[in-house]
Structure 1
Amino acid sequence: VGWGKVTTYGDLARAVGNPKAARAVGQALAHNPIILLIPCHRVVASDGSLGGFTAGVDMKRRLLEAEGVEMVRNRVPLRRYRVRL
């Protein structure tokens, strides 16, 4: 997922061939030891809410905003920023 874009946990689960594995995707991302090299901050919930992040949700928000992603009512507007994999 490129700079300034996001995808959802469900989109990522579908991309790896298991559309029901959105929670497993979240668990795998939670164990990412190199969060800036593997940009898991670009994966959000299906409603655009931020979901979790190893370094904290506030850091996830700051990283996305630094990439130009604008929040609307604490959610990422998926129509504008979502990339389907």
Structure 2
Amino acid sequence: CRRWPGATFREDPAVLRDWVQIAFGLQRDGTDKAPMYLIGAPFQIKVWEALLAIPSGHVTTYSEIAQTIGTPKAVRAVGTAVGRNPISWLIPCHRALRKSGGLGGYHWGLPVKRAMLAFESARVDA
């Protein structure tokens, strides 16, 4: 509401169905994409696109993301862009770790990040 004060908001679970099914691996028709319209600086969008390319159950590092988007020295900027991700489960910022393997930060707390990573890992291992 703060970002779009003139907008009319309405609850419509059907609109989110594809996103939720993809996020939880429940798509039955073989598709793995849901439409997303992101607002961010071009650099942020590149980072978010790189996050979208990380398969469920896998992780990467902030420095690997920086390499992927062609800015290998912009590791801190990548971390900032990851942290500004507006829709965390759909753009999987929880899959970004420190080079040391540490979890780094997470807007909703490290217990949530651990749980999300464990959930995805268990699904891949099953």
Calculate the TM-score normalised by the size of structure 1. Answer: 0.77
Q: What CA deviation, in whole Å up to 9, does each residue of 1:48-81 have, x standing for no partner?
A: 1000111111111110011127xxxxxxxxxxxx
Aligned ranges 1:16-27 → 2 under 5 Å: 16-27=69-80
In structure 2, list runs of 5 or more residues that go unmatched: 1-53
- RMSD in angstroms over aligned alpha carbons? 1.0
Counterpart AA for 2:83: A
Matched residue count: 69
2:121 aligned counterpart, secondary structure: coil
Which residue does the alignment assign to 1:33?
Answer: 86
Counterpart AA for 1:20: K
User: Is the radius of gyration larger for structure 1 or structure 2?
Assistant: 2
Counterpart AA for 1:61: R
**Runs of 4+ in structure 1 over 2 Å off:** none
Aligned ranges 1:26-65 → 2 under 5 Å: 26-65=79-118
Query: Which one has more relative contact order, counting CA pairs under 8 Å at least 6 apart?
Result: 1
In structure 1, list runs of 5 or more residues that go unmatched: 70-85
Counterpart AA for 1:14: Q
Give yes or no for the alignment of 1:3 onto 2:56: yes
